[in-house]
Amino acid sequence: MLDLKLLRENPDRVQTSLNRRNGSYDIQPILSLDSQRRELEQTRSQLQTRSNEIGKLVGQKMKSGTKPDDTEILALKAEGNQIKANLSELEPREKDLKSAIETLLLQLPNLPSETTPDGKSEDENVEIRTWGQEYKPKHAVLPHYEIAEKLGIITTDKATKIAQTRFVALLGAGAALERALIQFMLDTQISAGYVEVMPPLLANTDSMTATGQLPKFAEESFKCSDDDLWLIPTAEVPVTNLYRDDIIDGAELPIQHCAYTPCFRREAGSYGRDTRGLIRLHQFNKVELVKLVRPETSEEEHQKLLRNAEAILEALQLPYRTIELCTGDIGFGAGKCFDIEVWLPSANTYREISSCSNFYDFQARRGNIRFKESGQKGTQFVHTLNGSGLAVGRTMAAVLENYQQEDGTIAIPDVLKRYLGRDTL
């Protein structure tokens, strides 16, 4: 959520920054409602002050011997009663205005960082680096879903029978490979200093709102019809919300968590895209990295988080590239974002496998997550960061393609052999 004070005091700067995004955002309705609310607040304050004065005057006059039915006393009481009536009308109007302002603020995206490149679409994202060219297969390979079916380690037909399309079931060595990837990712990130969390897979509306999934992305999420609970689209939601409404001791920062969870997304608007395989599913596994940091260190911590995610691909010797998203492609809550894309040789292209975002204080304001330094009176909002470390299914797809041998077997990456106890699939 954007700071209302920032909108009020720097409207041109905020509007200019929002205009850099690929969308149409107008802050004037918010400023108009805020002006009305502040006028009501001033009026209410003046009326309250006058009401207090009347109470004192009546008390003083009664104490000095003036009779309760004296004309002046009756007039003061009548004025006081009228003020109370006016206040009873103003308070709900002020409350409604405050609610309307908050509703509009929740619909505004984060301001892109000044260093985020301008652009209208993903075509204008900026490549930062590539890695692992020497590991690209030199021979033609089958798409991961075809080789997986040939090996008998994945079934989509039976998963569709159980649920619906865009679900898969992994069998035998396929399940073992997915589990090995999860354990390897967790072990790597724990060694890098992240504290593991095993969070709930359901989150309430307040939690989904705090991290920015609601209200904008309601259609992308699965909701339990009988409860105020949503299936989490990413572990970012429950892990960040561990600290909602908390005041953290500054000495505890930075806080670093990693979490493996299944993730659930409707993928609304993506019908017809990646309908086969492990790239775009309604349910998929992911290891998430989440950081809560001081504002002055968030840029540095963002780069560290990015390197933590890249390290997984380098250990697996999977070729990848890192790009910085432009203002027209950056996510709703992010102020700065890097995507890591892994090489899929069957399609001769890179595909996103991690998105590493700096939200600055956007999520912290929505979730009221603050910290307090020792010896200081005030509190500050933390900066939150997160990124996939990594999307497990897409990593498995990359392994099945990049490690595919000409005879149709799959060589096991060296770092996974101790988890799987075998050299090939």
Please give the positions annotated as active site: 265, 280, 352, 355, 394
d(CA 320, CA 394) in angstroms, rounded, equals 12
Q: Which of 72, 78, 80 is nearest to 53 (CA)?
A: 80
CB half-sphere exposure, 183, CA atoms < 13 A: 12
* Contact (CB, 8 A) for 289 and 193: no
d(CA 284, CA 87) in angstroms, rounded, equals 54
d(CA 132, CA 60) in angstroms, rounded, equals 86
Residues 6+ apart with CB under 8 A from 12: none
Q: Which amino acid is at 47?
A: L
What is the per-residue burial (b if ≥16 Cβ within 10 Å, else e) of 360-380? bbbbbbbbebbbeeeeeeeeb
- Which residue's entry shows tokens 């009664």? 62
* Contact (CB, 8 A) for 239 and 260: no
